[in-house]
Amino acid sequence: MVNAESQPISMNPALMDATRSTHADDALPRRVHILPDDPALRYTGRVDFDDPQRPVLIYPYTLIEFRFFGTSLRMQLINRHNYWENAIGVVIDGCQRKVDIPCDDRETEIVLADGLTPVMHTVTVFKRQDACHHVELLGFTVDGTNVGVQVLPPAAPRPRLRMEVYGDSVSAGEVAEAVHCCGRIDPDDNNGQYTNAWYSYAAFAARELNAELHDVAQGGIALLDGTGWFNGPDYVGLEDTYDKLEYNPTLGDSKPWDFNRFIPHVVVVAIGQNDSNPIDVMADDYDGEAAVTWRDHYRMFVERLREIYPDALLVLSTTILCHDAAWDRAIDDVCRAIDDPRILHFLYESNGTGTPGHIRIPEAERMGHELASFIADHLPADIR
CATH number of the domain where residue 251 is located = 3.40.50.1110
Note whether 125 and 75 are within 8 A (CB): yes
Residues above pLDDT 90, as percent of the chain: 90
Asked whether residue 378 falls in the same domain as residue 285, the answer is yes
Inform me whether the pLDDT recorded for 23 exceeds 60: no
Over residues 280-309, mean pLDDT: 99
Please check the confidence at residue 129 and state whether its pLDDT lies above 90.
Answer: yes
| Domain stop point among 118, 152, 186 | 152
The per-residue pLDDT for range 106-116, each reduced to its tens digit, is: 999 999 999 99
Among 132, 152, 172, which residue terminates a domain?
Answer: 152
Structural domains counted in the chain: 2
| 149, pLDDT greater than 80 | yes
Judgement on whether residues 103 and 234 belong to the same structural domain of the protein:
no
Domain check: are 248 and 331 in the same one? yes
The range of the structural domain enclosing residue 322 comes to 161-383
124 and 219, same structural domain? no
pTM value is 0.92
**200-255: per-residue pLDDT in tens?**
999 999 999 999 999 999 999 999 999 999 999 999 999 999 999 999 999 999 99
In the prediction, which pLDDT does 143 show?
98
Percent of the chain whose predicted confidence (pLDDT) is above 70: 93
Q: How confident is the model at residue 74 (pLDDT cuts 50, 70, 90)?
A: very high
**pLDDT above 70: residue 12:** no
Does residue 40 sit in the same domain as residue 117? yes
pLDDT at 296 over 80: yes
User: What is the average pLDDT across 305-319?
Assistant: 99
Q: What pLDDT is recorded for position 29?
A: 84
pLDDT score of 367: 99
